Amino acid sequence: MYINIVKININYKKNVMQLTKTEFLEYLRCSKNFWLMKNEPELYITKRFSEFEQSKMREGYQVEKLARQLFTDGIYINGEPEEQFEKTKKFIAEKKAAIFQATFITERFLIVRVDTLVYNNITNCWDIYEVKSSTRVKTDRQTNHIKDVTYQRIVLEEAGVTVGEEYLLLMNSDYKKDGEIDVNKLFKTINITEEVNKALDITRSEIDEAVTLMNTNAIDKEYCSCLYLSRPNHCSSFRYFNQSIPDYSVHDIPRIRPDKIKNMLDAGIVYVNDITEKIPLTAMQKIQVELENTQEPKINNENIEKQLKDLVYPILFLDYETYSSAIPIEDGYSPHQHMPFQVSIHQLDENHKLTHYEILADKVEQATFSIVEFLKNTIPSVGTIVSWHASFENSINNNISIMYPELKEYFLNLNSRTIDLEKIFLKDFLHPGFRGKSSIKVVLPTLIPDFSYKDLDVQGGTEAMEGWRKMIFDDVSSKERENIKKGLLDYCAMDTLAMVELFKLLHKIIKVGK
C-alpha cells in the first residue's frame, strides 16, 4: 500500500528543492513568478495580505476544523512537518478510518497535506476530502479546486497510496443558522472524481514542467505571461518582469480580453492614448480611449437632468456596512450572506437642510433587528432614497424582508424608492481621472478634491468589516474599541456625505448647462 514515502530522507528540506501544492498552483498562474519565488526569493515580490485577508485565512482554518466533526474516529496529525510525515506513514499502515492533515512526500519531493483522508473498507482505497469555505466549485485562474485536488491525487499515488474518490466539502448556501451550528447541514459534499480523472494527464504534465522549471538555474526575465492579462490578473512580481509597462496602460481597460491586449502590445501599443481606431473595442472601451486622448469629461446634461428631476424630497442618502463569514454568526443567515451592522443616512430637505443619522451595532445578537428598528424610525414614508451601487443595499433589504416577512411590504417600498447614483457616473458623467472606474473612492476625489477618504482610519468596506469583527470578537481594550467605533462611524458617514456632495455638484452642472 505505501511504497515510496518510506524511502525518503526526513531531512529533505535541508538540501533538496521541493514542490508544495500552493507553489504548484502559483506555477499555474504565472510560471516565472513561481520560478522567482523558488530560486531568487530575495527578489520575489510577496503579496501583502491585508488584515481582512489574514482574517479570512484564519476563518478557513476554522471551517476546516468544523468539517472534521463530520468524520467519526478521526485522527489529527500535528507537530513539525517531519513528525507529521512519520505519523502519516504509521496511520496509513494501520488503515485508520480518517486522518486529518495527512502529510506526504514523493521521491521527487512533491509535498502535500490532505485535509481529510478516509479509508474505504469496501474499495480498500483512500478517499480525499478537501475542505473549502466557498459555496461553489471554483475553476478560475485565481482559485482552481479541481487542480488543487488533482495535485493531491497525483502526489498520493506517487507516494504509493491507492486513491479511490475525491470530494469537496463546501459551504451549503441553503443552510440558515438557527441556534448552534449544525455541522451536518452547514456543509455539502461534492464528488469531483470524474473531473479529477479528466484533469490527471494534463496536471501530471504541468507538475513535470513545474519541477523542471524550479530546478532550472536561469530564465529569461524580460517579461512574464501576465503581460497579456488584464491588470487584476497580474502576478505579484509583474513590475519586476515587465518594467516597461506603465501604471496606467492598455491592461487597465475594463473587460479587455487577453487576445486584444496581445494584439495591441505586439503592435507597439502600450498607453491607452496610443490606441487607434483600427483596434476593435466595445463602445465603453472606446469612450475610455477618447477620454484619455482629450483629457476632457463627457457629460450628458440632458440625461442627468432626467434622472434627477423626479426625485422627491426629503432625499435620503443611504449606505450599509455589512459583515459576511463562511460560518454564519447570527440566526437566519447563510454562509457568506451579508449581515448589516451599520447604517449611515444623510437626509437633505428641500430647503437644503442636511441632517445625519447613524447606527452601529455593538453586539451580534439582535444586530439585524436593531438595524430594522433604526430604519423604521428614521426613514420617512415619502422621499427618494439614494445609494451608490444600489443593488447591494436593495439585496440587503430583500434579505431582511425574508427574515421579517411581516415587514416585506415596507422593504419592498424602500427598494421602489431607491435610485443608484453610481449609474450616472457609469454612463452620463465620465471623466479621464476615473480611468474606467466608478467607485465612489475614485469619483469623489477626482471631482471634489477637498473631499477624500485618505485621512480616515478606515479606507474601504473590507476594512470596515474587519474592524467590526475585531470590535465584537477580539479581546481589545476599551480604548481600542472606541477608536475602532469612531473609525467605522467616520467611514460610513463619509460614504453618504460623498453622495450628498456629488449630488450637489450634478445640480450645479445642470444649471450651468442650461
CA distance 35 to 27: 8
Q: Which amino acid is at 459?
A: Q
Rounded mean pLDDT of 495-513? 89
Return the C-alpha cell found at 231. Answer: 491588470
Q: Which amino acid is at 514?
A: K
Phi, psi dihedral angles at 113 (to 5 degrees): -115, 130
Return the C-alpha cell found at 125. Answer: 482505497
Q: Which residue has the cell 447604517?
A: 343
Strand order in the sheet with 418-420: 354-360, 339-348, 315-323, 385-387, 418-420
Residue 45 clears pLDDT 90, i.e. is over it? no
Predicted TM-score (pTM) of the model is 0.91
Mean pLDDT of the chain: 93
| 3-class DSSP assignment, residue 342 | strand
DSSP bridge pairs for 117: 99, 128
- Give the pairing of strands 187-191 and 163-171: antiparallel
| Residues 380-405 pLDDT 10s | 999 999 999 999 999 999 999 999 99
Phi, psi dihedral angles at 447 (to 5 degrees): -95, -30
Rounded mean pLDDT of 189-217? 98
Instruction: Specify whether the CB–CB gap between 511 and 473 falls below 8 A.
Output: no
Determine the Cα angle at 123 with ends 121 and 127, to 5°.
Answer: 85
| Residues 323-371 pLDDT 10s | 999 999 999 999 999 999 999 999 999 999 999 999 999 999 989 999 9
Residue 182's pLDDT is 97
CA distance 324 to 341: 10
Give the C-alpha distances (Å, rounded to integers) separating 240 from 142, 226, 244, 245, 256. Answer: 20, 12, 10, 10, 22
Element (H, E) at 115: strand 110-120
Buried b (16+ CB within 10 A) or exposed e, 142-152: eebbbbbbbbb
Return the C-alpha cell found at 194. Answer: 470524474
CA distance 253 to 230: 8
| Residues 408-432 pLDDT 10s | 999 999 999 999 999 999 999 999 9
How far, in whole angstroms, is CA 205 from its chain's centroid?
30
CA distance 94 to 285: 62
Residue 206 clears pLDDT 80, i.e. is over it? yes
Element (H, E) at 67: helix 51-67
Residue 7 clears pLDDT 50, i.e. is over it? no
Q: Please, which residues have CB within 8 angstroms of residue 76's CB and are 6 or more apart in sequence?
A: 68, 100, 101
CA distance 181 to 179: 6
Residue 89 clears pLDDT 50, i.e. is over it? yes
The candidate with the shortest Cα–Cα distance to 460, out of 486, 439, 483, is 439
* Cβ contacts of 185-192, under 8 Å, gap ≥ 24: 186/66, 186/327, 186/335, 187/66, 187/67, 187/70, 189/129, 190/137, 191/165, 191/166, 191/167, 192/137, 192/145, 192/146, 192/149, 192/166, 192/167, 192/168
CA distance 361 to 369: 10
Q: Which amino acid is at 486?
A: K
Residue 73 clears pLDDT 90, i.e. is over it? no
In percent, the amount of the chain with pLDDT more than 90 equals 88
| Residues 243-290 pLDDT 10s | 999 999 999 999 999 999 999 999 999 999 999 988 999 999 999 999
The candidate with the shortest Cα–Cα distance to 225, out of 258, 263, 257, is 258
Asked whether the bond before 258 is cis by omega within 30 degrees of 0, the reply is no
The candidate with the shortest Cα–Cα distance to 442, out of 308, 243, 254, is 254
Q: Please, which residues have CB within 8 angstroms of residue 471's CB and are 6 or more apart in sequence?
A: 362, 481, 484, 485, 488
DSSP bridge pairs for 243: none
The candidate with the shortest Cα–Cα distance to 440, out of 508, 394, 397, 386, is 386
Instruction: Specify whether the CB–CB gap between 60 and 249 falls below 8 A.
Output: no
Residue 15's pLDDT is 61
The candidate with the shortest Cα–Cα distance to 318, out of 361, 257, 359, 368, is 359
Element (H, E) at 131: strand 125-131
CA distance 472 to 466: 10
Rounded mean pLDDT of 181-185? 97
Rounded mean pLDDT of 214-235? 96
CA distance 296 to 433: 9
Residue 512's pLDDT is 55
Residue 81's pLDDT is 77
Return the C-alpha cell found at 269. Answer: 501599443
Return the C-alpha cell found at 45. Answer: 515580490
Rg (CA), the chain: 27
Residue 310's pLDDT is 87
